[in-house]
Chain A
Amino acid sequence: MEKRVTFRNLLVPYLLVAAQLAVTLVFFIWPAAQAVRQSVISEDAFGLSQHFVWLDNFKRLFGDPLYLHSIEISLLFSAAVAGISMATGLLFATAADRVLRGAALYKTMLVWPYALAPAIAGVLWLLLFNPTIGILAYALHRLGYGWNQLLNGNDAMVLIIVAAAWKQVSYNFLFFLAGLQAIPRSLVEAAAIDGARPLKRFWTIVFPLLSPTSFFLLVVNLVYAFFDTFGLVHATTEGGPAQATAILVFKVYRDGVIGLDLGGSAAQSVVLMVIVGLLTVVQFRFIEKRVVY
């Protein structure tokens, strides 16, 4: 869609976009291009000589069991976070769509965790799961499970999944609630008159009609789990114990900033770029279809 009436001026528009364009080129496009360039060259430790190595960095990367492990746990982590937070968000939204009294208060009580930084969310759960003083760790001990996220990789993974999902429930709740409220009442009423009970109505009418919302949320949640959880991992488990929670965004940071492996880190950056690029394209393809102007 375009405006028919516009201003005719050749200098002003460039001045208007100058700031945005400058920041974008200097801090986004140029560094991204550098990452792509570094991923196909090999540089000695002093940066004195460099030569083109084609896809050697990528071959090395995908031949590294630690990186493959990182991909595996990232997929597990993202699937778990998206699954748990979406299911919980949908449950709360369905309940909130039904109640009339106190709806506004419930909404407030369910949306506030969105405001937390993932790192802060992680720190709160770190206290709850602290092996010596945490009340959840204590409860698990009483139930006979010796919880210790500092020693057990699975426990550490559960910790970051729970913290990441907890923060994201609010988001899914809000979007599912909007989706539910957009479903025409007449459809549900017609089914009720035909004798369909609430649970049947939910699975045969409401849930299918929510599929665009669900698909959109799935993509957003995957982006969140893949890219926004760096702080959570860094502030709680630091990728440990024994790399058990070194998801891709954490690994690219550690190999690059701490390990100073330029080529390897650049190759990891490019892999992440491809992932976020694909997710963004999928998201926009879908939104183009959905939004009606």
Chain B
Amino acid sequence: MVESRPLLTLFSHGVLILGAAVLFLPLWVAFVASTLSAPDFNQIPMPLLPGGHFWENYTTVLTQGVKSSGGLPVGPMMLNSLIMALTIAIGKIAISLLSAYAIVYFRFPMRKLIFWIIFATLMLPVEVRILPTYKVAADLGLLNSYTGLTLPLIASATATFLFRQHFLTVPEELLEAARLDGAGPWRFFRDILLPLSRTNIAALFVILFIYGWNQYLWPLLVTTDPAYSTIVIGIQRMVTVADATPQWHLVMATAVLALLPPVVVVVLMQRLFVKGLVETEK
């Protein structure tokens, strides 16, 4: 703040409070809807204060699901989402650490070419190669499996770049010293590079967990068997049931369950989240 302008500061607080409220409104309404009973929705407009069916609705969706959309319980879907998010996050970090290590600390033929091939994945999101990728997954027998859900998403140019960038800032003396002490590539990686990359790994993990949890198009394509359905896909099936109006109290309970894990991760690990967000965009 350059000078004291109480009115302007007050106005700033006003903007922020109003902004926070506007951003919060959809979440509040969803939460309220998830605590109502079906007949409560006969009121027009719907009530804006929570009702008394919180436990009932959440237990229903977690264990039985929504009857009109096939009655699949949301509990297993959340487990699928968790498996997918964790596998993608850990897998991306692991293979990116290794390939960034190779690209920075080794000189080998085709190094530049491999770097550019990894770079090219940035320009090839699933959306631009839907059918051929689906065909590859089908030919490899990966449809309706956890491998099919995660493996094709595990290559990551951004994570590789982030680690490359980070490795480049590690002082050269460390490798010289390690080599004098007789450390081989694996030992240097494990005892020196990995501990130095801890915060980067954590920040990236936060971002990638959210990325994995929120996947949509790929799970939609490769999982037709409801046993592998993730919660984000499950909710789409609930909303678009053809012959009945969506049961909003149950749909919204599912929506709250679907958004809770990533939101909790962002709020609790805000510092890491911001770091990860800023660094992966460089």
Contacts and interface: CB of A to CB of B under 8 A. Distances in A.
Question: Do these two chains interact?
Answer: yes
Interface of A: 1, 3-10, 12-14, 16-17, 19-21, 23-32, 34-35, 38, 88, 91-92, 94-96, 98-100, 102, 106-121, 123-128, 130, 132-135, 138-139, 166, 169-171, 174-175, 178, 185, 188-189, 192, 198, 201, 216, 220, 227, 230-231, 234-236, 238, 249, 252-253, 256-257, 262, 265-266, 269-270, 272-273, 276-277, 280, 287, 291, 293
Contacts of B235: 119-120, 123, 235
B128 A276 contact: yes
Nearest to B270: A108
Interface string B257-282: 01100110111001001100110011
Contact of B108 (A13, A110, A216): A13
Contacts of A166: 23, 26
A124 B251 CA distance: 10
A231 B217 contact: yes
B131 A119 contact: no
B175 A235 contact: no
B232 A117 contact: yes
Nearest to A21: B114
Given A31-B129, A175-B278, 17 more contacts: A7-B106, A9-B185, A17-B99, A19-B98, A21-B99, A21-B114, A27-B136, A27-B155, A109-B16, A112-B23, A117-B232, A117-B262, A127-B26, A128-B29, A133-B46, A273-B124, A287-B282
Interface of B: 1-3, 5, 8-9, 11-13, 15-16, 19-20, 23-27, 29-30, 33, 41, 44-46, 48, 94-96, 98-99, 101-108, 111, 114, 117-118, 120-125, 127-137, 140, 151-152, 154-156, 160, 168-169, 172, 175-176, 179, 185, 188, 210, 213-217, 220-221, 232, 235-236, 239-240, 248, 251-252, 255, 258-259, 262-263, 265-267, 270, 273-274, 277-278, 281-282
